[in-house]
Amino acid sequence: MNLSLALRRHGRVALFALSCGLPLAALAAPAAPVGAAATTAARDIANLGQAQSKAALEGYLATLRKSPDDLDALRSAGILLHQISRTEPERERVEQAERYLKQAAGLAPDDREIAGWLGSVTTMKALFETDPGKQTFWVKLGTRQMDKAIDQAPELPILRLIRGNNSLELPPFLKRTRFAVEDFNRYVALCAAQTCPKELVDDAREKAKRAQKIVEDTK
């Protein structure tokens, strides 16, 4: 099967299409969060609607024009560009997301969440290739980045959502759907011991069931 056609057929451009939108107190870029606050902030912006994402992005881009090495702005702009590319996939936008996330990773090499987002956006580069070898290269590179991030931070909930959604949206013949089953179920289990948005927990449960059915149907 042609990977490019398969990626589109299976909704790869709708990667991480979580249905709920969390409110954003202000669209201008906030002060850089740290620790658990950084994870919460990233989760919040990852669940904005398309129009909200574009408005929030402008705030972070304004920050980067003044402070090109602002870690939070780099991380947040990269995530927002990734999310906007769900439904409006453009090579320039995806590559810009990759650049910001790579720069953020350089400033925070131990941040596994940034590594996860970078891996996810890397797989999206396959959408713009016509050569099967190049398509496979980007998918393998990105999925390996996500797998490494999970190996190093298996208890980080947002990483489970990033890889889970990525794995579910990739074509089943790539044999990544089993990771969606693992990640969504693990996310639900992790949320039993901490506060997670109910909408995301319900979404993870539904996607775990959907992924399990795909695995069983493609044995």
Angstrom distances, CA of residue 169 to CA of 56, 105, 123, 181, 189: 25, 25, 11, 12, 22
Q: Which long-range contacts (CB under 8 A, 24 or more apart) does 188-195 make?
A: 190/155, 190/157, 190/160, 191/157, 194/157
3-state DSSP assignment of residue 47: coil
Task: List the structure tokens of 174.
Answer: 């790539």
> What is the token pair recorded at 79?
């995530």
Query: What is the phi-psi region of residue 2: left when phi exceeds 0, alpha when psi lies from -120 to 50, beta otherwise?
Result: beta
Q: Specify whether the CB–CB gap between 101 and 121 falls below 8 A.
A: yes
For residue 219, the model assigns a pLDDT of: 84
Q: Which residue range is the domain that position 114 belongs to? A: 3-217
Map tokens 């990525």 to a residue.
166
Report pTM: 0.81
Please, what are the averages of pLDDT over each run of 10 residues along the chain (219 residues)?
A: 49 33 30 44 69 91 97 96 88 97 98 97 96 96 98 96 94 96 98 91 97 95
The count of domains in the chain is: 1
What is the CATH number for 57?
A: 1.25.40.10
Contact yes or no for 204/184 (Cβ under 8 A): yes
Tell me what pLDDT residue 43 has. Answer: 57
52, 104, 119, 99: which is closest to 74 by C-alpha? 104
Residue 14 confidence (pLDDT) = 32
